Amino acid sequence: MSETYKMKIAGLERELPICPLNDNVSIAGFIIFGDVELTVACAKELLEKLPEFDYIVTPEAKSIPLAYEMSRQCGKKYFVVRKKEKVYMRDPVSVTVNSITTKSEQKLILDGADGEQIRGKKIVILDDVISTGESLQSVEKLVNKFDVDIVARAAILAEGDAAKRDDIVFLGELPLIFK
């Protein structure tokens, strides 16, 4: 039987699998895919904590269900920053990113047409978990190419030192587990 970390998120209890990052540090793996009850509850709680905004921007892929549900609940459009350029993209804009949960450098790409829609608008940057902040900073760097007003950086959970930040909105703290 694998080890788990029990926590309450948006009023719901969940047991998260413990996942080793290296010989000294593990994380509690938080995946929202397929957990509709949790997605709906987290979307509601996050929307209550956010200032007024025009659009949600989220990186691919784990936070897409949350962005969709928040969009459904508030009626505001969301945009997905992709990891690979797609054939439908016109004038794609990109930045590179490193994350503790991804082993190699990645590229984040926004369709130029989407960028023009968000230009000058109030934006919420949304992710499932904020850990080192590298992904968040990369999305921020990307959307800032379109002169947006970032009114909030939000996630369901803040991991490790990210929970000490006062510039993000989140629902709960996810600890780093040291051996």
* Predicted TM-score (pTM) of this structure: 0.89
Residue whose structure tokens are 């895919």: 33
pLDDT of residue 99: 56
pLDDT of residue 1: 45
Apex 31 CA angle, 25 and 32, nearest 5: 150
pLDDT of residue 103: 61
List C-alpha distances in Å: 29 to 4, 18, 78, 99, 138: 9, 6, 25, 14, 22
- Cβ atoms of residues 153 and 125 within 8 Å: yes
Residues in the chain with pLDDT < 50?
Answer: 1
pLDDT of residue 87: 86
Apex 100 CA angle, 98 and 106, nearest 5: 30
